Chain A
């Protein structure tokens, strides 16, 4: 059902694709539709992160979810991670970031998300694609039964979104639609 809705959303965006390609600005209504599509992708990512990080997820299932999560990203996307203790950023390929998340040595992991998000304006790149940033906040809680260690942090995730015009064939007709891919993600530990 969700995929059908995304398809409809894509088709809606397709109806005004030719106008968008020629103009330098995106109308508020179209921007809202693109924002919704971007938020869907970010919600998928947050859901996948929660599954990968959960200790109840079996290894084979986590790998399958990692494949799905990777498909949300454009090739070469990286996670840039920094903590409160250091201002230097460590960079991981998306897959490597998920693998590190899966390998965390806690007996119980709880990943939740705050009900606040922020979506930037869309800016056009030299190649004609549009780029934006979605900001979300994640709460991580890991508990180790053996050591009694309980680790908590809140991170801000600034997620790049690329908005690009694509084509598909439906009943022999070429339909243009706007798709959203995720790009580099900046992960910053907050003091909250």
Chain B
């Protein structure tokens, strides 16, 4: 019993030593507040947006039952610093409307890491047939096994854009409606004579660029090089869309911040998603 008490005493002592020391002691540099103010991880963006951490340095994590957990004044303060206030064109009136909606006393809104309605857009460079090309990759979180994983939802790749260009109207080739009576011997028009075999597909045909992308990779025609940019798109707050990007610059308004905010009218969400996914 005494040993258990001793272990706990040492454990508690060790924890307090850790939190008091900082990373690099001795010779630690004191932060002038810039790094504390910076939204250093997207995780911190979630915490601040929801009001789940202490306001100064974020070292105290608030949990359900804590006095300040999800507190409106705390969230109001955080929301002000979660916008890119230096370069973004989002006007103050729109920000206020957004804050009012998020902090509504009757129906406050929160972000949820595990829920659908947000995803990442990644710019990555690949070597494709000897040439450097940038691909836009859309990733989202999904449950898998005992936890969660990021998965590739879609890819947009400029070299694929012109491969499928289905003609319309009179210029479109076709298989006549009695082709079946000849055992489809005229399939040669689609697969041998035509340079645009996609002309012979159904009206709703849409190329699956991700499958094509993976196929080219398996054929060793595509080689990954590096990531150049990451941003996040959020549709979780009902009636609103916003974009989060990382700002690496001097000052206090840095890190992961809202760079774009749109109040959604009917149909806007689909239009924005179509634009982001870029599958046309």
Interface residues of A (CB under 8 A from B): 4-5, 8-9, 11-12, 28, 31-33, 36, 39-40, 42-43, 46-47, 50, 84, 87-91, 112-118, 120-121, 123-128, 130, 133, 135-139, 156, 158, 188, 190-192
Contact = CB atoms under 8 A, between A and B. Distances in A.
B24 A46 contact: yes
Interface stretch (B77-85, B140-148, B212-220, B259-267): B140-148
B148 A124 contact: yes
Given A8-B10, A116-B36, 6 more contacts: A8-B11, A88-B226, A114-B31, A117-B23, A125-B148, A191-B249
B125 interface: yes
B256 to A, nearest CB: 11
A49 B179 CA distance: 73
B248 A190 contact: yes
Interface residues on B, range: 35 or more
Contacts of A118: 40-41, 44, 58
Given A191-B249, A192-B35, A46 B23 contact: yes
A156 B147 CA distance: 28
Interface of B: 7-8, 10-11, 14-15, 18-19, 21-24, 27-31, 34-36, 40-41, 43-44, 47, 57-58, 61, 63, 113, 125, 144-149, 225-229, 248-250, 254
Q: Is the interface of A mostly helix, strand, loop or mixed?
A: mixed
Nearest to B9: A8
9 contacts: A12-B11, A112-B27, A114-B22, A114-B35, A121-B47, A124-B146, A124-B147, A133-B43, A135-B41
Nearest to B228: A87
Q: Which 8 residue pairs spanning A and B have beta carbons closest together?
A: A113-B24, A126-B145, A124-B147, A120-B43, A115-B22, A128-B146, A126-B144, A116-B31
Contact of B28 (A39, A112, A190): A112
A62 to B, nearest CB: 18
A68 B43 CA distance: 30
A40 B24 CA distance: 11
A36 B14 contact: yes
Contacts of B248: 84, 188, 190-191
B278 to A, nearest CB: 20
B35 A127 contact: no
Contacts of A33: 11, 15
A36 B19 CA distance: 8
A58 B278 CA distance: 55
Contacts of A126: 144-149
A39 B249 CA distance: 27
Contact of A88 (B44, B113, B228): B228
A158 to B, nearest CB: 7
Contacts of B27: 112-113
B11 A128 contact: no
B85 to A, nearest CB: 16
A46 B26 CA distance: 11
